[in-house]
Structure 1
Amino acid sequence: MNEISNFDTAQTQAAEETTMPHSVEAEQQLLGAILTNNDVFDRIAAIIKAEHFFDPVHQRIYEIASARIAKNALASPVTLKAFMEDDDGLKELGGPAYLARLAGAAISAFAARDYAQMIYDLAIRRELIGLGKDISDKAARVEVASEPKEQIVEAEQALYKLSEQGQTETGFQSFLKAATDAVNVANAAYQRGGGMAGVPTALTDLDKKLGGLHPSDLLILAGRPSMGKTSLATNIAFNVAKAYKRGLKPDGSEGTIDGGVVGFFSLEMSAEQLAGRILSEASEISSHKIRQGDLTEGEFRRFVEAAKDLEACPLYIDDTPALPISQLAARARRLKRTHGLDLLIIDYLQLCRGTADNRVNEIGEISMGMKAIAKELDIPVIALSQLSRQVESRDDKRPQLSDLRESGSIEQDADVVMFVYRGEYYKEREKPGEDNVEAMAQWIEEMESLHGKAEVIVGKQRHGPIGTVELSFEAQFTRFGNLAKTWQTDDQQF
């Protein structure tokens, strides 16, 4: 009885294999084209690999041919015959004579890319079918160790890996195309009246220094705890989402013409806490008061009105903790597809997960992944980062690039590295004793000069100047703003 069931299973598997999407003819003709003209390989190498062929013999032929071509050696029916004389699969198809038949059935080099794309697409379909069966089988097996949520995560990761395979290299492009793109970026800045090409943050001095937040840039916003990294990130997110306008762009296409759709990965705080911070800033009610519920009727009404005004803001928050970088990328892609996406903020980098065993390599994988998201989705990505404790041991507590925690790859992958620094925070902790009148007077004077001020130190900028930008900081609303300069008149103040 067992033998019969085993036979039935084998027959079913064989039937499934033959009904799987494939085209033996396309594989034969493409291999023939390569064996008759090795230059064809260069056109299709970025599209397909050996594993994309359905027939195992075709896989081996392609593998040997590509290895020879890579060494600048000839790959032809004659040269491959020496490597495949003992191949059992080839013997079943007629031996070395099959290689000659392949060359005889060759297509023109012009059609090779289309055939390669067809073979690749069919391979992806087979993988999708296999993935669907795996998901179905795992779901059918009810096991304590395999929770449905974990299965969903595994399925998402498997689909992400499959989608990553489809990204063939763009290769070289002419200088004319690159120059045209550069002129279009400059034109966007010119159309804004000499403003900026990037997304404005509404923090005027920071925008002047950065030229706005540029698409495909990875910006690292780093600082020690309590410096206000998350506050600055939420302020930028709120400003960009609040200014969102859609319409006709200078090139005639429809899209974002001001502000933008913002995605915020809050790996540390819950979505409710983050929303509370943004509402505190918008309603100008202390976040401490909101948490305590210590509000007057007027303040509560103002709080509710602020919430109503902001409900239409295109700001999307994902507060899933310890997200793997692969999932983070998949969710960002999904958001762009469903709602649009003009700015992505991640709070914070060290709370993401990678696949490497070594922590330094893992951080490197995460920072590279974030830069890849910025390039692929063509949006600015702001990633918050912790700084090492060595800042605290220095007299001057202003952060430096060397303070970036756990990996030099963060500095390497980033287009911009910014540090948030509040001198008031450190000076507050240096308060002298009441009996030392002279020291106390000096301390009060220094505290007054630092009160309500913050610095954003641009430590690295790949396409612009570095330096320090001064901002105002209202601790009670956790709000950063433009700092009025002493030389500005009232109507010039930002």
Structure 2
Amino acid sequence: MNDAVRKLANPGRDDQGLHHREAPSNIEAEQALLGAILVNNDAYYRVSDFLKPGHFQEPLHRRIFELAGDTIRMGKIATTITLKTHLPSDGKVGDLTIPQYLARLAAEAVTIINAEDYGRAIYDLALRRSLITIGEDMVNIAYDAPLDMPPQAQIEDAERRLFELAETGRYDGGFQSFNDAVAQAIDMAGAAFERDGNLSGISTGIHSLDSKMGGLQRSDLIVLAGRPGMGKTSLATNIAWNIAHSYEAEVQPDGSFKAKNGGVVGFYSLEMSSEQLATRVMSEQTEVSSSKIRRGDISEADFEKLVGFSQEMQKVPLYIDQTGGISIAQLAARARRLKRQRGLDVLVVDYVQLMTGSGKSNENRVQEITQITTGLKALGKELNVPIIALSQLSRAVESREDKRPQLSDLRESGSIEQDADVVLFVFREEYYVKNMEPRDEFDPKYDEWRMQFEKVKGTADVIIAKQRHGPTGTVKLAFQSEFTRFTDLADPSFTQYEH
């Protein structure tokens, strides 16, 4: 028997003897849930937090669920009568017209008690269909791989799609209704109302900075830049510790955890080892100089402080990755994994210029930095977390008389400035004034220098050079150089001004 005859004789089987499989769905569960909603609109609220129209397999059922949701959210009652005017009256479902089909759904409705179970069944089947689609795409692309898509790129794409499916129950992206966007904005305002300090974003732990920025906003790319010695890593570690230390979790209806205050922080330390970073954080928080910690030049009281802090540190959700020269794709993959396994609310990258792009050898450095910043911006949106990316400034600052940084000082600046939602510069005038100290203390200019030094000693400026959601300006902070710690100034009248 040849292949063609065998296939004709067994039309439901393929070469391996496997039956043709249809995508999993449960039309009866969809009908039962819609019937329950039409009879009692409270059933909609049992499922609306996780079930979306796209989760229904039958297109008509998607439309009915969407119409019912829109009607209920407007404060009206969704019934067979109110919905049928929005559906084509001449459409057919088997022998029934659509109005008759709606009436049949309502007549055979299950009780509201079962609504959530049916909703979960529909949701789970939709996830399985999405998994099948992703799996089929993976197989098909692997068989017929385009020349411009290496296997690593396919892995990253599949991982991204699976992550989106795991996080949101959908991976297709696409348009979102304005109603949903408004609901999210209202939820954000409500969360800000309940959060410490009434901030719309995550508090940095530095009040004068929060009052200018409203905290760190989700999905924002915040570039923190400065010349070496200005303290950009110190400010980043201060903020990271403050956020992780104030983490307070809240249980969600689906059993998952969400940050009520503070958050889980992922810190990519491309320059320093995790041990160096931990020493720095210990110094900042215990007020024991990091040079003393490294040399072991500490008293018994200092040692007790360090031990006490190390015990506290074990409970704090601050995770450090010290891989040097990491690519944007690797960073994205690890960040997704961290979010799935431990949660993630803020990501810190120290610093952009130590990262690599896709690895194409024909790209120049400016193109590579563009790829990195675009990738970071996309990652922030995908994970819905703020990303603090540290960046170096060009040497042009040093050749100017006024050493205050400007946007044009960002190295390979075009894409960094363009992709960033916020650009912060750390500037310590003390650093430059200290280097101008006259060698002879009897020099007539020595008193003038000392007065100037006393004026700027122990202070730092955080210059908000760009901010999409708020004003630019300067925030003046206190800086304790021996502990590399930034804090609010004691005199609040001196903390900030706008320009």
Q: TM-score w.r.t. structure 2 length?
A: 0.67
Tell me the equivalent position of 2:300.
Answer: 297
CA distance in 2, matches of 1:200, 1:24: 51
Tell me the equivalent position of 1:89.
Answer: none
Tell me the equivalent position of 2:157.
Answer: 161
Tell me the equivalent position of 2:190.
Answer: 187
Aligned residues of 2:407 and 2:413 also touching (Cα < 8 A): no
CA distance in 2, matches of 1:278, 1:118: 42
Measure how far apart 1:373 and its partner are.
1.0
Measure how far apart 1:454 and its partner are.
0.5
Tell me the equivalent position of 1:267.
Answer: 270
Tell me the equivalent position of 1:120.
Answer: 133
CA distance in 2, matches of 1:369, 1:394: 33
Specify whether residues 213 and 21 from structure 1 end up closer, same or farther in structure 2 by C-alpha distance, changes over 3 A only.
farther
Specify whether residues 197 and 272 from structure 1 end up closer, same or farther in structure 2 by C-alpha distance, changes over 3 A only.
same
CA distance in 1, matches of 2:142, 2:244: 40
1:392 alignment partner, SS class: helix
Q: Percent identity?
A: 50
CA distance in 2, matches of 1:309, 1:329: 29
Tell me the equivalent position of 1:307.
Answer: 310
The residue type paired with residue 158 of structure 2 is L
Aligned residues of 1:249 and 1:257 also touching (Cα < 8 A): no
The residue type paired with residue 136 of structure 2 is A
Tell me the equivalent position of 2:428.
Answer: 422
- Work out which of the residue numbers 440, 445, 459 in structure 1 matches 2:446: 440
The residue type paired with residue 306 of structure 1 is F
CA distance in 2, matches of 1:382, 1:359: 21
Tell me the equivalent position of 1:107.
Answer: none
Tell me the equivalent position of 1:87.
Answer: none
Tell me the equivalent position of 1:215.
Answer: 218
- Work out which of the residue numbers 460, 471, 474 in structure 1 matches 2:466: 460
CA distance in 2, matches of 1:283, 1:255: 29
Aligned residues of 1:227 and 1:425 also touching (Cα < 8 A): yes
Structure-to-structure mapping, 1:74-153, within 5 angstroms: 120-124=133-137, 126=139
Is 2:260 the partner of 1:257?
yes
- Could you give the per-residue CA deviations for residues 163-206 of structure 1, whole angstroms, max 9, x where no partner exists? 34667552222222222211221222222376201110110000
Measure how far apart 1:326 and its partner are.
0.2
2:475 alignment partner, SS class: strand
Tell me the equivalent position of 1:410.
Answer: 416
Specify whether residues 428 and 378 from structure 1 end up closer, same or farther in structure 2 by C-alpha distance, changes over 3 A only.
same
Aligned residues of 1:21 and 1:126 also touching (Cα < 8 A): no
CA distance in 2, matches of 1:285, 1:184: 42
Is 2:407 the partner of 1:401?
yes
Measure how far apart 1:309 and its partner are.
1.4
- Work out which of the residue numbers 193, 196, 199 in structure 2 matches 1:196: 199
Aligned residues of 1:472 and 1:482 also touching (Cα < 8 A): yes
Unaligned runs of 5+ in 2: 1-13, 24-53, 55-125, 145-149, 165-170, 495-499
Aligned residues of 2:266 and 2:318 also touching (Cα < 8 A): yes
Structure-to-structure mapping, 1:385-396, within 5 angstroms: 385-396=391-402
1:437 alignment partner, SS class: coil
Unaligned runs of 5+ in 1: 1-16, 27-43, 45-112, 132-153, 489-494
Q: TM-score w.r.t. structure 1 length?
A: 0.68
Superposition RMSD on alpha carbons, in Å? Answer: 3.2
Aligned residues of 2:437 and 2:446 also touching (Cα < 8 A): yes
Aligned residues of 1:249 and 1:256 also touching (Cα < 8 A): no
Measure how far apart 1:415 and its partner are.
0.5
Measure how far apart 1:434 and its partner are.
1.4
CA distance in 1, matches of 2:210, 2:187: 20
- Work out which of the residue numbers 247, 253, 256 in structure 2 matches 1:244: 247
Tell me the equivalent position of 1:361.
Answer: 367
The residue type paired with residue 377 of structure 1 is L
CA distance in 1, matches of 2:412, 2:230: 19
Measure how far apart 1:117 and its partner are.
5.8
Aligned residues of 2:201 and 2:214 also touching (Cα < 8 A): yes
Matched residues, number: 365
Tell me the equivalent position of 1:469.
Answer: 475
Tell me the equivalent position of 2:48.
Answer: none
